[in-house]
Amino acid sequence: MTPEDLANLEHLRRARDLIDREYARPLDVPTMARHALMSSGHFSRQFRAAYGETPYSYLMTRRIERAMALLRAGMSVTDACMTVGCTSLGSFSSRFTELVGETPSAYRGREHSAIAAMPACMAKLSTRPSRAGSPSSRIGEAGDPAAA
């Protein structure tokens, strides 16, 4: 890895840290790109190359991940949606269903006591949202090498 590549990764990490820290704020790609000291287009391409998803997709995944924790704690779907920075309940529900595989209401109504009993590192891994069909969404499935 060249020194330029390392510098780019450092700048991308700044933007990713911004997303992780300020996910509930209105964030757009130009704002994230400014934190990475890059143009919007270059930032989007570099972010996708480094992290495997677009900056907006990463932001929405973080929001859904936080919303899952709020829903497990009993918060209403609408309140969770607004708390994590989403302004459209319909878009939030669609993205939640896409990433989690069930509606926010169904997720909220399901039993979550097993997650509370897990070590935090395992709970974080097992509750991390991922697109259906991606390798990380199949961890633990029968026939999956990670299940053995």
Closest CA to 69 of 79, 56, 80: 80
Percentage of residues in the chain with pLDDT exceeding 90?
69
At 92 the pLDDT is: 96
Dihedral of alpha carbons 22, 68, 52, 122, sign: positive
Superfamily of domain 62-132: Homeodomain-like (1.10.10.60)
If one counts every other C-beta atom within 10 angstroms of the C-beta of residue 83, the result is 15
Contacts of 120 (CB under 8 A, 6+ apart): none
Lowest mean pLDDT among 18-27, 43-52, 73-82, 136-145: 136-145
**Cβ contact 97:126 at 8 Å:** no
* 101-127 pLDDT tens trace: 999 999 999 887 777 677 777 776 767
Domain positions in the chain are: 1-52, 62-132
